Amino acid sequence: MTLLPTLKPALALACMTVPAAAPAHFLLEYTVDTMIERPGDVPVKLVFWHPFENGHVMDLARPREFFMLHRGERTDLLDTLEPVTFTGPTNGGAAYKGSVPVKRAGDYVLVTVPEPYFEETEDIYIQQITKSFLNRGTMPTDWMTPVGLPVEIVPLNKPYNILTGSTFTGQVLADGKPVAGAEIEIEYMAAEPDMDSSSASAPVTTPPPGGAVVAISDLNGYFTFGVPRAGYWGFAALGAGPETEHEGKELSQDAVIWIRAWDLD
């Protein structure tokens, strides 16, 4: 057995000592579908939430960056963002709705770089740099290319049509270099946001016993997960980013990626 060199015990401990925070928070870049049939503006919701347990909604500040990559070209989408309130089962929180101008065939990689969020119960800041993927016309163009973010998960399986029962492999990169021993929390979007009412829909399942589902990246930054159910799955590499401090406090700079799995009929 190989010892993993860079586990971050401080962060791991911080998560585990907060009793009520079992399943993880995830920044969602939610679209109803990942395959876009006709050109047009695709609505997207940015929500900072606990989508597996359908839990507490956190207030999302206006992101630092929100953009798309299409055929290698970056388009700023910050101007499309409008503040909305997203309502979970126990509270409402500040969220954003935006839109993605889908025209030509190809991949549309959505990227959000949020402001660090202060998590009072853990006395740390959390910044979840997030990627999700749309495609039009089944032509793959951008999904496998690193965006060049401070920290990101690069997919090794096409992330918008993973088969249920197959696997998803990602590589954690910080400043373009593999991160060994990163703790990756894995979460199912059990309750999807309802786009019209801007609230959580009824959850279709609940998290398993034993807390967050976790994988650890190997020496080259890779991890693999067998995908047991159709729908959206999120992966968050906790504290894998190069920045570790914000305003004098510990910063967990996380990389989040969303994939969509489908059943074979």
Binding stretches for Cu ion (CB under 5 A): 21, 25
Q: Closer to Cu ion at the Cβ: 182 or 212?
A: 212
Cα-based angle 189, 192, 198 (whole degrees, multiple of 5): 140
Q: How far is CA 213 from CA 78, 145, 200, 210, in A?
A: 32, 26, 22, 8
**Distance of alpha carbon 130 from its chain centroid, rounded?**
5
Q: Closer to Cu ion at the Cβ: 106 or 116?
A: 116
Which burial class, exposed, middle or buried, applies to 242 when counting CB atoms under 10 A from its CB (0-12, 13-18, 19+)? exposed
CB 20, min distance to Cu ion, A? 9
Q: What does the alpha-carbon distance between residue 53 and residue 39 come to, in Å, rounded to a whole number?
A: 34
Exposure pattern of 23-35 as b/e (b: 16+ CB <10 Å)? bbbbbbbbbeebe
Q: Closer to Cu ion at the Cβ: 59 or 218?
A: 59
Q: Closer to Cu ion at the Cβ: 25 or 97?
A: 25
Q: Closer to Cu ion at the Cβ: 25 or 136?
A: 25
- Residue 23 contacts residue 50 (beta carbons within 8 Å): yes
Q: Which residue's Cβ has the minimum distance to Cu ion?
A: 25
CB 209, min distance to Cu ion, A? 18
Q: What does the alpha-carbon distance between residue 105 and residue 202 come to, in Å, rounded to a whole number?
A: 33
CB 128, min distance to Cu ion, A? 11
Q: Closer to Cu ion at the Cβ: 21 or 172?
A: 21
CB 144, min distance to Cu ion, A? 30
Using alpha carbons, select from 82, 104, 108 the residue that is nearest to residue 95. 82
- Residue 16 contacts residue 24 (beta carbons within 8 Å): no
CB 50, min distance to Cu ion, A? 6
Q: Closer to Cu ion at the Cβ: 102 or 186?
A: 186
Residues in the chain: 265
